[in-house]
Amino acid sequence: MSLHKESGIPPEHAKFEDILHELDGVILGKPHQMRLALACLLAKGHLLIEDLPGMGKTTLAHSLAAALGLEFNRIQFTSDLLPADILGVSIFQTGNQQFKFHPGPIFSQLILADEINRATPKTQSALLEAMEERQISSDGETFLLPEPFFVIATQNPQQLIGTFPLPESQLDRFLMRISLGYPDRDAERQLLRTKDRSELIQDMGPGLGVDQLRILQNKVRLVHCSDALLDYVQDILEASRTSEKFVNGLSPRAGLALLNSARAWAFLEGRSMVLPEDIQTVAPAVMTHRLQNSSEASANIHESVETLLNDIPIP
């Protein structure tokens, strides 16, 4: 199509097609979610995966790290996990009579915070603060986190026993929330038939690499958003604020999140400009965890967001 030829972006998205293809081989039957996850990282955002246990959340995080060629650390959150277990501690050195900081597992380019809602709010907020600031403070000293720094957190749906749900204010720190859901019958059949997932991850290629990723992230920032599209984004924000379906409207930060995610999505589609379709595609993943239904009785939040989008004409 001529669009792709005329766009200023060279066929770099082709690289992503390869990566996505590889990922699809590991996470079966979920190409849309994989694409969203990749777009989230391209837009320099953190990702929250919400699902029941055993749906492949960890595998997704693991395979993403491998595909992008990033350093990977996994932190299993439990109810007795303490902030220092994540951030690191200062230990007294008998040799030189000084404290020395021992960095914790958070000092890695890609963190999988597994079952984040199992930890206490104190520990959760330690992680979330680090995500926001991209640095941590310990004993009055500041340590910069590596660049890039991604957090993929997984969370069990809150109905399960023994969880501390993340407060909305902190959910806002995640650019997107996705859930995988059950695979369809064919995909599950293939899953049952083929090799173990962890072996498949080990078999993956060397990955993209940090430098490449950084270049591509910069390119994503250059994807063009026309005024007409900004109108559309603002209409969505306004509708969420005036609608009676939601407790609170979307924040300005949510608006930026929507735009940046749409940019990354457009980039993955090989386009140099954002289209309303891109906004519509990323909107559920960006918006659902930021909004709350006002009355318990009404339908679930996904449906509310969908209705909202359907009601807003494209300007």
Partner 1 sequence: MNRYPLPDKRSFNWLTIATLLASAPYAFYLPPWIFPTFLGLLGWSYLIERQGWQRPGRTLLLTLLALFLVLVLRQHQTVLGRDAGLSLLLLMFGLKFLELKTLRDHILLTLLLFLLILGNLLFSQSLGLALHLTIAVIACIATLSRMALPSGMGAITRIRLSVGIFLKAIPLMIVLYLLFPRLQGGFWMLPGSSTGTSGFSDTVRLGTISRMVKSDQIAFRVKFDGSVPPAQQLYWRGLVLNHTDGRQWQRNQQNVGVIDTFTPTGPPVRYELMLEPTWQRWVFALDLPGDAPGGVRHQPGYSLETTALIQERVSFKISSFPYYRTPALTAITRQNSLQLPRYISTRITKLVDTWRRDAQDNPQEIADSALRYFRQQKFYYTLEPPLLGGDPVDEFLFDTRRGFCEHFASAFTTLMRVAGIPARIIVGYQGGEFNEAGNYLIVRQQDAHAWSEIWLPQSGWTRIDPTSAVAPERIEYGLDAVQQFQLQGLDYSMLTPSQRNQALRPKWPIFILDNIQRYWDAGNVLWYSWVLDFTAERQRQLLDELGFLTSSVMNQLVAVAGSTLLFFALLTAVMSRNKQRVDNTQKLYLQYCKKLERVGLRRRHNEGPLNYMNRVRKSRPDLAQMAAQVADLYIELRYASSCNGQFVKRFKRMTRRFKPNPIVGA
61 touches 151 (CB < 8 A):
no
Footprint of partner 1 on 263-282 (CB under 8 A): 272-277, 280
Query: How remote is the C-alpha of 148 from its chain's centroid?
Result: 14
Q: How far is residue 186 from each of residues 144, 182, 198, 293, measured CA to CA in Å? A: 45, 11, 20, 35
**Residue 267 C-beta: closest distance to partner 1, Å:** 12
Residues 180-219 that bind partner 1 (CB under 8 A): 218-219
How far apart are alpha carbons 296 and 97 in whole angstroms? 59
Measured distance CA(172)–CA(92) in Å, rounded: 37
* Shortest Å, Cβ 193 to partner 1: 34
Contact stretch for partner 1 (CB under 8 A) within 76-84, 88-96, 194-202, 304-312? 304-312
Q: Does 310 bind partner 1 (CB under 8 A)?
A: yes
Q: Which is nearer to partner 1, 188 or 231 (CB)?
A: 231
Pattern 212-251, partner 1, x by CB under 8 A: ------xx-xx-x-xxxx----------------------
CB closer to partner 1, 104 vs 270: 270
Q: How far is the CB of 34 from partner 1 (least distance, A)?
A: 21
Q: Is 53 exposed, middle or buried (0-12, 13-18, 19+ CB in 10 A)?
A: exposed
Cβ distance to partner 1 smaller for residue 28 or 223: 223
Please report how close the Cβ of residue 89 comes to partner 1 at its closest, in angstroms.
24
- 174 backbone dihedrals φ, ψ, rounded to 5°: -90, 130
* Number of other CB atoms surrounding residue 281 within 10 Å: 20
Would you say 210 or 273 has its CB closer to partner 1?
273
To partner 1, the closest distance from the beta carbon of 11 in angstroms equals 16
Reading the block at residue 131, the tokens are 């995500």
- Is the CB of residue 16 less than 8 Å from the CB of residue 171? no
Question: Is residue 125 within 8 Å of residue 86, measured between CB atoms?
Answer: no
Number of residues that bind partner 1 (CB under 8 A): 27
- Give the bridge partners for 174, in sequence order: 46
Tell me if 121 contacts partner 1 by CB under 8 A.
no
Positions touching partner 1 (CB under 8 A) are 1-3, 6-7, 218-219, 221-222, 224, 226-229, 272-277, 280, 309-314
